[in-house]
Amino acid sequence: MEEPLITETRARMQKALQVLADDLGTIRTGRATPALVENVVISAYEGTQNLKLREMATITTEGPRTVLIAPFDPSVIRDIEKGINSANLGFTAAPDGNILRINIPALTSDRRVEFIKLAGTKIEGGRVLVRQVRHDVMSNIKRSFEAKELSEDDKKRLEKEIQDLTDNMMEEIEAMRHKKEEELQQV
């Protein structure tokens, strides 16, 4: 049976990893994925509503270089087109009947290097989030020990478990970094 403190810490660290994974998904790799546009905020219905694209349309891919966007309400197709084109993502949306088609251009080697650096920055941000969770929990353990709520053995055991959990999360982050860099290197 896992201690509640460890369970809570694991959940907080997993949340940090999820934030990182979502953030890395926004870096374009030259391949079409819905993650490239799903979080773009669109001003729709004459500016009365700001919605994320995934709330307004079905986003799919067609082949490795094309994203298709099918709005739930065809009347907002122009709003979606304008929102994507003004988001400065390095590609444009073009209407094709009741859908929008986005052709993803191939990455230049300079852009690949830029994106690898950007991924590195985001990865470091993920590491900082995980370390911050560890720091908070370790401080709480230390306070509990000083208040005589924990024995020294329990304190040491919990600190070791938290450090092991942190090390595991860092390995997962490293795997995410490796995977993203591989994606960015593919032509």
Q: What is the pTM of this model?
A: 0.70
Give counts: helices (H), strands (E), the chain. Answer: 4, 6
Q: Give the position of tokens 């929990």.
A: 137
pLDDT tens for the chain, 187 residues long, are 568 889 999 999 999 999 998 888 877 777 788 888 888 888 888 888 888 888 999 999 988 888 999 999 988 889 888 888 888 777 888 898 899 998 888 778 888 888 899 999 999 999 999 999 999 999 999 999 999 998 999 999 999 999 999 999 999 999 999 999 888 887 6
53-67 pLDDT per residue, tens? 889 999 999 888 889
DSSP E strands in the chain: the ranges are 41-44, 49-52, 57-61, 66-71, 93-96, 99-103
CA angle 11, 14, 16 (to 5 degrees): 115
The full set of domain ranges for the chain reads: 4-25+108-185, 34-103
For residues 35 and 66, the answer to whether their CB atoms sit within 8 Å is no
| Residue 67, token pair as written in the block | 């994203």
34-103: what fold? Answer: Gyrase A; domain 2 (3.30.1360)
4-25+108-185: what fold? Answer: Topoisomerase I; Chain A, domain 4 (1.10.132)
